[in-house]
Amino acid sequence: RLVTDDAAKERFRREARAAGRLQHTNAVAVTDFGETRDGLVYLVMELLEGRPLREVLAREAPLDPARAVSLMLQISAAVEAAHEAGIIHRDLKPGNIFLVQRPDSPYIVKVLDFGIAKIAADDEGNLLDTLTGTGVMIGTPRYMSPEQCDGAQLTPASDVYSLGVILYEMLTGQTPFTGTTPLALALKHSSESPRPPRELVATIPPALEGIVLHALEKKPEERAGDAGEFRRELFAVAERL
């Protein structure tokens, strides 16, 4: 259906170019993109072997705090690189985070699927009018920021909120909010305070709980401004612990 939609194809090409210029150990590598004779557009990505974080959490959550922090430092490093390139991911969730398993070495985390990313800048750093529609709720409701649920203008702080939700889930085994419909979830993100993680798992260090709750502030200006700031906060706490 989208093959005949010129705007969708242009968005795909733009986002493929953006993913291609995102060179980071913790971001999936996009090596090529193009269009077949039949008009189908395609991406060529590196082959990954391992398992998604979603599967790890389903079997093993809550994770030990040291392991959760180690994974989140890699996740946030990839998102930091995206933010530096002018890309807001917009759909960060455990299903889009992959743990590559190699013999005799620790997991390497890969962040996937920049497919609905909002590209805010071109190669020269100039801000762009994006082709993704404003006022449209795109993403996965359990991991979306309040402003994303409202269809508002997004900044890198929206991804920081999603990182906070993922860290909360790694530490407690559940997301801060659940609901039977996307609208019910959106209302909770916008108006309800999350339960402090230590109420669910008492062994979580207080300083780490503070990082999670700071990332889950309702107003974007009250969170870390981007994934780099979030990662530095987390790293400082990890060092102290």
pLDDT in tens, the chain (241 residues): 666 778 777 777 777 877 777 889 999 998 888 889 988 888 898 999 999 999 999 999 999 999 999 999 999 999 999 999 888 998 999 999 999 988 888 889 999 987 566 655 444 544 444 444 444 445 688 999 999 988 888 999 999 999 999 999 999 999 999 988 888 998 999 999 999 999 999 999 999 999 999 999 999 999 999 999 999 999 999 999 8
The residues annotated with a catalytic role in the active site are 91
Separation between Cα atoms, residue 84 and residue 81, nearest integer Å: 5
CA–CA dist 85, 119 (Å, integer): 9
Write down the pLDDT at residue 81.
95
| Residue whose tokens read 């993913």 | 19
pLDDT reported for residue 20: 79
Q: Report the alpha-carbon distance of residue 7 to residue 183 in Å, rounded.
A: 28
Q: Looking at the whole model, is its pTM more than 0.85? A: yes
CB 153 within 8 A of CB 134: yes
Secondary structure class of 52 (helix, strand, coil) = strand
